[in-house]
Structure 1
Amino acid sequence: MNLYWRLLLVWLGARRKPRIRLGETIELGLTVLPNDLDLNGHMNNGRYLTIVDLALVEYMTRAGFVGPALRQRWRPMMTGSMIAFRRALKPLRRYTLRFAIDCWDERWAYVRFEFVHAGRVVAAGHGRGGIVGPQGVVGSAEMCRVLGADPVSPPVPAPLAAWIEADRLLRASHEAATPYPRQETA
């Protein structure tokens, strides 16, 4: 079972679930499959963010965004993420992924996600993303209009604000940095 099959199942399942509003939290019940594993026998750290994409598909489907996005040729795009791992997810373990869009600015939406097993958070993080169309990034005001949501964002939670600032500093340091000098080989 590959990720495209899982993506199809999530999308079809989301179409039968109740509508949600921007800011609400959804939960997906999932299982660690053999193709999710790394050499250490637990879910690969790179797989977590791929699984978060499944939650984004369910969220946007249940919020009523997929139809308008397809008509406008819009697509979601993640532009940054931060995740902290606390415990391993072993093969065939059932877990819950909690996902919500917490807040937004004029350009980006900020999401929160938690992987939960046996009542304990095993990994958690934030992501920043937006909607891209043929003319570039679609602003959050337009996203809110399409979703029938208040364009005024809820307050930015403190951990998210700290990550946003750390990300800004990291990007600024890369923009100001000079390229690494080339090493001569013998």
Structure 2
Amino acid sequence: MNLYWRLLLVWLRARRKPRIRLGETIELRLTVLPNDLDLNGHMNNGRYLTIVDLALVEYMTRAGFVGHALRQRWRPMMTGSMIAFRRGLRPFRRYTLRFAIDCWDERWAYVRYAFVHDGRVVASGHGRGGIVGPQGVVGSAEMCRVLGVDPVSPPMPAALAAWIEADRMLRAAHEAPVAPLDSPQREIA
């Protein structure tokens, strides 16, 4: 099944599900399809993040954000993600994706997700994303206003704060000049 068909099905089903508020957790029940597989016969590591995008579509639809976003020509954009894999998902296995927006800062929203099979987490992670419009990034205060929620974010979980700091350090390292291949490796401080 093509991912666009899966996206369409998720969006259509989300329109019939109950509304949610920022911070609530949603669950999508999905199946590992043949086009989700890698050469090792389990779900491809890149596919996990594509499936997380499906959860984002459902979340924003059920939160009542999609209609406003379309009118404003806003679109969601993930700017970073961290995922830890524990076990593989084999073909035709049913699994549940749990997804929530945990907190936000002035610019970005931070999400949490977990892939669960037979009551065990097989992969989990965090992501950072935002809303982009014709004028650039739409701040979290505007997102909260549209959704009718308090713009004051819930506290940031410690694991998420650690990931944000690690991401900041990686970005800083990538902004440093690249050493030629024949020079010795330099240590990153």
- Interval containing the TM-score (normalised by the shorter chain): over 0.9
State whether structure 2 residue 91 is matched by structure 1 residue 91.
yes
- In 2, the alpha carbon distance for the partners of 1:75 and 1:92 equals 32
Deviation at 1:172, TM superposition (A): 1.2
Distance 2:181 2:47 in 1: 34
Q: Deviations over 1:112-154 (max 9, x none)?
A: 0000000000000000000000000000000000011110000
Aligned match of 2:186:
none
Moved beyond 4 Å, runs of 4+ = none
Secondary structure, counterpart of 1:29 in structure 2 = strand
Q: Counterparts of 1:13 and 1:94 in 2: how far apart (Å)? A: 18
How far off its partner does 1:173 sit?
A: 1.4
- Superposed counterparts of 1:98-113, under 5 Å: 98-113=98-113
Match in the other structure for 1:148: 148
State the AA in 2 paired with 1:158: A
Any unmatched runs of 5+ in structure 2? 183-189
- Residue 174 of structure 1 deviates from its aligned partner by 1.3
Give the secondary-structure state (helix, strand or coil) at the position aligned to 1:155: coil
Are 2:28 and 1:31 aligned? no
Q: Which residue matches 1:11?
A: 11
Give the equivalent residue in structure 2 for 1:40.
40
- Percent of aligned pairs with the same residue? 89
C-alpha distance in 2, partners of 1:158/1:52?
22
- Count residues with an aligned counterpart: 182
Stretches of structure 1 lacking an aligned partner (at least 5 in a row)? none
TM-score by length of 1: 0.96
- 1:49-60 alignment runs, 5 A limit: 49-60=49-60
Question: What does 1:153-172 align with in structure 2 at a 5 Å threshold?
Answer: 153-172=153-172
Distance 2:165 2:155 in 1: 15
Coordinate RMSD, CA, aligned: 0.9
Output the CA distance in 2 between the equivalents of 1:100 and 1:138.
20
Equivalent residue for 1:179?
178
Rounded Cα–Cα distance in structure 2 between residues aligned with 1:131 and 1:52: 16
Q: Deviations over 1:18-65 (max 9, x none)?
A: 000000000000000000000000000000000000000000000000
2:76 aligned partner, one-letter code: P
Q: CA deviation at 1:181?
A: 2.4
2: CA distance, partners of 1:61 / 1:172: 35
